[in-house]
Homo-oligomer: A and B are copies of this chain.
């Protein structure tokens, strides 16, 4: 705790407030909220509507514009208040067609997708010998003579875990591989797709270039294609040919879509529930992040239906363009900078439809007892409190950096990373019961926070984590 006095004061408030949090499980209204949520399939119906009527909704695409219209209509139809679109400018990148082929006596086409933001090959294929490295560190250890004029193959593999903890270490190959390879004179880069499944499914995602370093084309190949390429390398030198018509095409207009559920006290501020409306341009973004959209919309709608609402309101924010540069999350924090004091806390759903298995917070020390006590309300769902150092979600990170307390419900991400950013991210990967379970979890935590006695201290202002490189469709020298 940061001082003794606020800690004791907080405890007194907890003990004396009529709305105080019981240490022995949720109040009857929340128990009923959980029970009804578990039995309902409305979130799945919302998700089905989004994926089937809108389809993919990549930033700046026609689908993106359809998604904004869909979100406005859906929030209004579901009874939200103050429904509106706040404009966000997004970069626009178009995939085109692409191929990655082993050439020579035993040619072989590999299953590939361009990495989002990659330059194309300007009408003629790029061909070169493969030089392989597991990770960026290994690539950095190679000399310029090893790499120049060749095509770098980065083959580290993501391991499946319940919380997706291997994503961060592995995805560095995708995000920075092209820039690091180009610094040593490579012609192109091919990575083992960042996915844990034993299939030949390429996963896209974004990359970053570095100003002053040549922008080279970058591709992800499926796990089985990566294994085939490694096996060929054991037999001798391998040449590959890369072709792509991808490229940046300026900017486009998109929007953050917002809807609210008022609380009992209009002066009491609100809890922000976030998810991102955009998706990649393959599949229909059912898990990423259609599931998050459907979960937070339904969790907020259910709280709005209650006879006795919590003291504070809920603000649902469906963010523009998380995938290709976090445009919506950054814009929201700038647009609402003067009003951040009314944001009690923020919570985002952006890890698919796997069931929530743990609960985390990032609050000031004196508010830790409040955070832990909310775990009593999640206990009937089997969700324990495990840490006070969550980062929250990507879209709410600009809020966290400005001191807004963030909370997180960690989803089981084992299956998520099998189809994340792939053409297989479609409705058939979502179990309606999982979505219903997650609605119960988000509704519980959202209610508990919205009805929290007292306020939460603001966190320290953070400097944003430095990113290596610049967005792929940003200015280049």
**With A134-B387, A231-B372, A234-B375: A165-B166 Cβ-Cβ less than 8 Å:** yes
Contacts A146-B365, A159-B165, A166-B165; A233 near B372 (Cβ below 8 A): yes
**Closest CB of chain B to A266's CB: distance in Å?**
30
Q: Which of A143, A376, A386 has the most CB of B within 10 A?
A: A386
Q: Which of A3, A135, A230 has the most CB of B within 10 A?
A: A230
Q: Which B residue's beta carbon lies closest to that of A145?
A: B3
B142, B227, B233, B369: the one within 8 Å of A384 (CB): B227
Q: With a CB–CB cut-off of 8 A, which chain B residues contact A142?
A: 2, 365
Chain A interfacial positions (CB closer than 8 Å to B): 1-3, 7-8, 11, 23, 131-135, 137-138, 141-143, 145-146, 155-157, 159-163, 165-166, 227, 230-231, 233-237, 365, 368-369, 372-373, 375-376, 384-389, 460
Q: Looking across the interface, which residue of chain B has its beta carbon closest to that of A236?
A: B11
Q: Are B134 and A388 neighbours in the complex by a CB distance under 8 Å? A: yes
- In angstroms, Cα B395 to Cα A79, docked, is 64
Q: How far is the CA of A138 from the CA of B2 in the complex (A)?
A: 12
Q: B1, A131: Cβ atoms under 8 Å?
A: yes
- Nearest-neighbor residue (CB-CB) of A137 within chain B: B389
Given A8-B237, A132-B368, A161-B166, 7 other A-B residues pairs in contact with their CB atoms under 8 A: A11-B237, A134-B387, A134-B389, A146-B365, A230-B372, A233-B369, A234-B372
- Are A2 and B387 closer than 8 Å at their CB atoms? no
**What is the minimal beta-carbon distance from A140 to any residue of chain B, in angstroms?**
11
Residues of B within 8 A of A161 (CB): 159, 161-162, 165-166
A131 / chain B contacts, CB cutoff of 8 Å: 1, 365
Closest to A129 in B: B4
A386–B233 CB distance below 8 A: no
B1/A146 in contact, CB under 8 A: yes
Contacts of A237 in B (CB 8 A): 7-8, 11
Task: Enumerate chain B residues within 8 angstroms of A138, measured Cβ to Cβ.
Answer: 388-389
Assuming the A-B contacts A132-B368, A142-B2, A368-B132, are A386 and B234 also in contact, with contact meaning beta carbons closer than 8 angstroms in the complex?
A: no
> Are B234 and A23 in contact (CB-based, < 8 A)?
yes
> Is A389 a contact of B135 with CB atoms below 8 Å?
yes
Q: List 29 A-B contacts (CB under 8 A).
A: A1-B131, A1-B146, A2-B146, A3-B146, A11-B237, A23-B231, A131-B365, A132-B368, A133-B388, A134-B387, A134-B389, A135-B387, A135-B389, A138-B389, A141-B460, A146-B365, A155-B387, A157-B386, A159-B165, A165-B166, A230-B372, A230-B385, A231-B372, A233-B368, A234-B369, A234-B372, A234-B375, A234-B376, A236-B369
- Minimal beta-carbon separation of A88 from chain B (angstroms): 32
CB distance from A461 to the nearest CB of B (A): 13
Contacts of A372 in B (CB 8 A): 230-231, 233-234
How far apart are A198's CB and chain B's nearest CB, in angstroms? Answer: 10
